[in-house]
Amino acid sequence: MGQQPPIALVAGGAGFIGSHLCRALAERGFEVLCLDNLQTARPSNLRVLEDLPGFTFVEADIVNALPATVMRHARRITRIYNCACAASPPQYQADPEHTMLTNVVGTHHLLRLAEQSGARFLLTSTSEVYGDPEVHPQVEGYRGWVSCTGPRACYDEGKRAAEAMTFDYARMARAEVRVARIFNTYGPHMHPDDGRVVSNLVCQALTGNDITVYGDGTQTRSFCYVSDMVEGLIRLMESDIDGMEPVNLGNPDEFTIGELLDKVLALVPTDGRVIHMDLPQDDPRRRRPDIARARSLLGWEPKVRIDDGLPRTAAWFAEELGVSTPALMAAE
């Protein structure tokens, strides 16, 4: 018998970024062990993965002890990607206790597995560790402006605690680690109801519902297409860096929400009205990554411009929602 391929464990592998990551790893020769509690995943995300060679799905929650199906493969697991956690405010605020436990207890379980198996561990952290930043663009050395008592704290502080634990494992030589701070990412496999700005605007326009814009639309975001993000994550995992510094991954092109809305409406004309609502508490006013570290250490930067990625994303949403739009068919 030939040597068995290595296993990559992807916690949260049925989610938006996780499902793309599972496919990319399978294409690189890994057997993929996808672990997900299906709390926020789309069933269609799993369906497109099931036929991948060497793909195994395990329904489990990393808040609990890792299941025997995972533990019996421990010696063959060489890569652990922790993508598990609801990532949009409506989703992670729906059960804030579970969000915090996923980030802290779940990360601990996966780090213990990395220690036991000798696998390299990558934490997908978030730009939310910078909070509503006073420094722009955000560099990895900036310590953030985060409310530890507000409604976003379960996620923001949970990720900050997960980072602290991850770096402590590395500091004590208990695991080889990487930490990615992910900025706004979009693309196919997003949940239409996840409450993120791209999915909100596109799906509301497609269905003809009122389009909700929070605040006056002058707050900014930087949007990274999912294929670029997955490439960055894999490069970070496979890099020879010491892992003791977080790395921003995101697209430094900055847009106001109003500019994003204009791009969506140019793609998906709609009769829906634009409704302005109050900004949520602690919502960041500006968000843009400084990716100098990723460029230097990984040779990575995004390739997909929003004018190319947004039509692909809108076309995918249209198919998921069963909406036919000539403009999107032309855009494809």
The span from the CA of 285 to the CA of 262, in Å, is 19
Pairing, β 254-256 against β 220-222? antiparallel
Tokens of 73: 């493969």
Instruction: Mark whether 142 is an active-site residue.
Output: no
| DSSP letters for 133-179 | -SSSSB-TT---B--SSSTTHHHHHHHHHHHHHHHHHHHTTS-EEEE
In the three-class reduction of DSSP (H, G, I as helix; E, B as strand; rest coil), residue 14 is classed as coil
- Bond from prior residue into 90 cis (ω within 30 degrees of 0): no
User: Cβ–Cβ contacts within 10 Å for residue 269, how many?
Assistant: 11
Q: How far is CA 135 from CA 143, 211, 292, in A?
A: 10, 30, 15
| Phi and psi at residue 60, to the nearest 5° | -165, 160
183 closest CA partner among 154, 131, 222 = 222
Contact 120, 251 (CB under 8 A): no
Kindly name the residue from 81, 92, 130, 155 that is annotated as catalytic: 155
Please give the positions annotated as active site. Answer: 155
